[in-house]
Structure 1
Amino acid sequence: MKKWTKVLTGLVAVFAIGTLAACGAKKDGASKDGVKTYVVGVASDQQKEIWEKVSDSLKADKIKIDVKLFSGYTEENPALADGSLDLNSFQHVAYLNNYNKENKKDLTYIGYTLISPFGLYSEKLKDPKDLKDGDTVAIPNDPTNGGRALQALEALDIIKLKKDAPDSPEVKDIESYKTKIEIKPIQADQLVATLPDVTAAFINTNYVTDQLHTTPKKSAIYIDTDHLDKVSDLYKNIIAVRKEDKNKEDFKKIVKAYQTPEIAKLIEKTNDYPAWEGAK
């Protein structure tokens, strides 16, 4: 019995050492043949393509990016917080701020990527001015993208928001309806499927490209970035990391590899705009 106890104790010790080693490797990037690998979470095929290009450009720095594609917006931040991801690149500042507030986290960001057009789409209308009383407009049900949709509706003079409305307003922050539409919050990745059943819908660009196989410029009846003065910097997309990794040297190299003219061209392919200073 003592013999088996010693064997089991030894196995537990080996497992514990292996686990600690794995955790250490994860914190500093999984390393093989001197090449450090970092896992980034994205939410669109466009971003997957971009990050694969970024990875290619980092070979001389002995850095590799392993890109993990998610189908929605709800898993990337928890995966970053628990260490399953080293970085993520799917959200804007407002979304990250809201996530941190609701989940008592302190994720942060190390660089801007793009600002994505946020469009209104319809199978029934050609112009948002044709919206009338009783029509239904679907918006994303998360506070930040939903708030951006409400700000766009105000810019279109369809609603008026309260003077003290927050940066990411909700339906309760509407003071009045100039056109008495019904606003229907729906999960962001379900908006394309809902489009035939509503009068119009605000849809994030990654779902437009991946599910509708088009671009805002070709298909939207209104694009908020055509009026950039009405779009807050809160809606610039970012590269997010854990707070303790904010000043990591490898991550500075990754940001530099992202913010290049080559990546800017890939961003512009889907009518997005490079969001970093000096990109234009």
Structure 2
Amino acid sequence: MNKKFLGLTAGLALFLAACGSETATEESVKVSVGVVSEVEVEVWEDVKERLVDQGIELTIEQFGDYVQPNLAAQAGDVDINAFQHVAYLESFNADNDGDLTHIGYTYVSPLGLYSEKVEDYADLADGAKIIIPNDVTNGGRALLLLQAIDLITLDDAAGTEPTLNDITDNPKNLVITDLDASQTARALPDVDAAVINTNFATDSGLVPSEDALFLDTDNISEVSEIYKNVVATRADDADNETYLKVVAEYQTEATAKKLEEVTQGNDVPAWD
């Protein structure tokens, strides 16, 4: 084989290698999203498959509580997260000097009252023990739920984030205590009732539409927009075109159908 041909072959190989490397770089943009529940992982896996055609490689990281996904996003360990509503995001920023901002809505997830002791919340006995999430926003929403079904009365001045100290009337002398949201479903057997976030309820095998004594979305008109779940990222990345493409792919009919499938219709799309 002559040397000229060998030289051309080697040159062509180097050219193709270089082009291949450049093409791979251009075609694959990596984005990481932090979520909390297995249900959210399943939905985002569906989005991930659809993003491939747009040259976006999505990595999904599941966390075990509501604090770590925001800390990870703030530190840049994940690019975006999708697990929380507006109220919780604002509370996190205020408490942690954060600058996370939402770049698109995902869904509204009901908060439910569950019990293994009674089949109707009206049958809760005097002095019954009830647990609620211990963070300000979900805890406040839980208290508003209990007020909606006339178990307690809250001070009007408390607004959308009441605390246990804002209970002005408790006719059944309910013993209401708070617990990390991720532990409420596990603690259900030990109390008379528990207010549980949908993601933790479904992860524990509960079906909110069937098992809850009451869902606050049963009175959807009274569920504030601050309880819409969102995709969040650092303020400096709020206009990141790739992140916005991820959000746009999430906010599609395909995702709405996936939400319907994996949540049995409990989570309602919130982007329209």
TM-score tier by shorter-chain length is: 0.7 to 0.9
Counterpart pick for 1:114 among 103, 107, 119 = 107
Is 1:221 matched up with 2:216? no
What stretches of structure 1 move > 4 A for 4+ residues in a row?
Answer: none
Tell me by how many angstroms 1:33 deviates: 5.5
Q: 1:82-114 deviations in whole A, cap 9, x for unaligned?
A: 000100001111110100011111110001101
Is 1:175 matched up with 2:168? yes
RMSD: 1.3
Tell me by how many angstroms 1:32 deviates: 4.1
The residue type paired with residue 267 of structure 2 is D
Give the distance between the partners of 2:58 and 2:115, measured in 1 at CA: 38
Contact 1:268 1:274 in 2 (8 A): no
**TM-score, normalising length: structure 1:** 0.85
Tell me by how many angstroms 1:148 deviates: 0.7
Counterpart pick for 1:40 among 19, 33, 41 = 33
* 1:200 equivalent in structure 2: 193
* 2:227 equivalent in structure 1: 235
Contact 2:34 2:63 in 1 (8 A): yes
Tell me by how many angstroms 1:59 deviates: 1.8
Is 1:247 matched up with 2:239? yes
SS at match of 1:144: helix
Within 5 Å, which residues of 2 pair with 1:72-151?
Answer: 72-151=65-144
Tell me by how many angstroms 1:34 deviates: 3.0
Counterpart pick for 1:69 among 49, 62, 66 = 62
Unmatched runs of 5 consecutive residues or more in structure 2: 1-23
SS at match of 2:95: helix
Count, aligned residues = 246
Tell me by how many angstroms 1:60 deviates: 2.4
The residue type paired with residue 191 of structure 2 is V
SS at match of 1:76: helix
Q: 1:237-271 deviations in whole A, cap 9, x for unaligned?
A: 10001001111111221111001111001112312
Counterpart pick for 1:209 among 202, 208, 215 = 202
Give the distance between the partners of 2:130 and 2:223, measured in 1 at CA: 20
Contact 2:31 2:243 in 1 (8 A): no
